Structure formats: structure tokens, C-alpha cells
């Protein structure tokens, strides 16, 4: 019969210092903070909404397929997220005159306002994620984590859609 231990949060020694374990713990923490921040201050919007609005603001009108590729959001999820954003008046979708079935998405002035408000929400979340680190450690961490991400995009691994904002 297995023995149940009352102590929670124990980590096996074989796992404790493995980069994959540490990265997954940091990911779980940042995901939790993102979810809580959007839940509290996002007015029903999520990280994937933010990514879509940010892409439209930065690069201008785009097809739904391009938005999916540019933001790492699955094509079927892009359609649902854009439906939600359109219902709130944050984006407009219009037929592409050069391609009958394609829709071109544009951010609206309300969408720009929402994006700016969400920037503040995300700034607070980023601060919470990095709170345990000194300013110098933050710079080092961002440099190192960027290298790991760039290596994945460069072919050493496959990028995942992930949550993000």
C-alpha cells in the first residue's frame, strides 16, 4: 500500500535541477498570472485576443490565415477569437476583393483603445512574473530566454502556439 505524505510541493531530486522542469514551472506560474490578470482586468478578453489586436495594430489589415501564422494561434481558434472581437466592435472583417472566400481583418478605434488598456494589464503581469529578480537578473533572464526561443524557431525545436501575451 502506498504511503501518502502530507508535505506538498516536494520535487524528486532527479527532476529538481533539470531545465525542462524549471522552464515548465516558470511557464505554469506565468500562465497562472496571465489568466488571473486577464480574468480580473481583461473584460472577458484573453491573451490570444491581445495578440491578434497587437498584430493588427503593428502590421495593419491582414487575412485571418496570416493572423494565425503571425500570432501562433491555430486557424480555427483565430476564427472564433475574431468573431468575439468583432462582436465587441474591436475589429472589422470584410471580404477580400482579390480573393472571394478570404476575409481581411482591420482593427477599429475601439480595438486600439482596448489594446492600450490591455497593455497596462500586461505590464502589471510582466512585473509580477519578474518580481523575484533584480533589474540585472531580469536583463540576463530575458536575454537567455530569448536565446532559447530563437533556437526553437531556428530549427532546433518546434515552436508551440502557447498562451501569451
Q: Specify the CATH number for the domain of residue 44.
A: 1.10.10.10
Q: Is 105 left (phi over 0), alpha (psi -120 to 50) or beta?
A: beta
Residue 15 lies in a domain: no
Residue 5 lies in a domain: no
Residue 30 lies in a domain: yes
Total domains, the chain: 1
Look at residue 165 and tell me whether its pLDDT is greater than 70: no
Residue 62 lies in a domain: yes
The residue range of the domain holding 89 is 21-150
Write out pLDDT tens, residues 107-145: 999 999 999 999 999 999 999 999 999 999 999 999 999
Q: What is the H or E stretch that residue 10 is in?
A: none
Q: What are phi and psi of 35, to 5 degrees?
A: -60, -45
Residue 7 lies in a domain: no
Write out pLDDT tens, residues 11-53: 999 999 999 999 999 999 999 999 999 999 989 999 999 999 9
Residue 13 lies in a domain: no
Read off the pLDDT band of 158 (50, 70, 90): very low
Integer Cα distance of 148 and 22 in angstroms: 13
Amino acid at each position: 500500500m502506498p504511503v501518502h505524505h502530507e508535505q506538498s510541493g516536494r520535487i524528486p531530486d532527479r527532476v529538481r535541477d533539470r531545465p525542462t522542469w524549471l522552464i515548465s514551472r516558470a511557464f505554469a506560474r506565468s500562465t497562472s498570472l496571465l489568466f488571473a490578470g486577464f480574468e480580473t482586468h481583461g473584460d472577458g478578453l484573453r491573451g490570444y485576443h491581445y495578440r491578434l489586436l497587437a498584430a493588427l495594430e503593428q502590421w495593419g489589415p491582414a487575412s485571418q490565415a496570416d493572423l494565425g501564422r503571425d500570432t501562433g494561434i491555430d486557424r480555427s481558434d483565430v476564427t472564433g477569437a475574431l468573431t468575439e472581437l468583432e462582436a465587441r466592435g474591436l475589429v472589422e472583417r470584410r471580404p477580400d476583393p482579390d480573393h472571394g472566400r478570404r476575409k481581411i481583418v482591420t482593427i477599429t478605434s475601439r480595438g486600439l483603445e482596448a489594446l492600450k488598456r490591455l497593455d497596462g494589464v500586461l505590464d502589471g503581469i510582466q512585473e509580477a512574473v519578474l518580481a523575484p529578480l533584480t533589474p540585472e537578473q531580469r536583463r540576463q533572464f530575458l536575454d537567455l530566454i530569448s536565446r532559447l526561443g530563437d533556437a526553437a524557431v531556428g530549427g532546433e525545436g518546434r515552436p508551440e502556439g502557447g498562451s501569451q501575451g
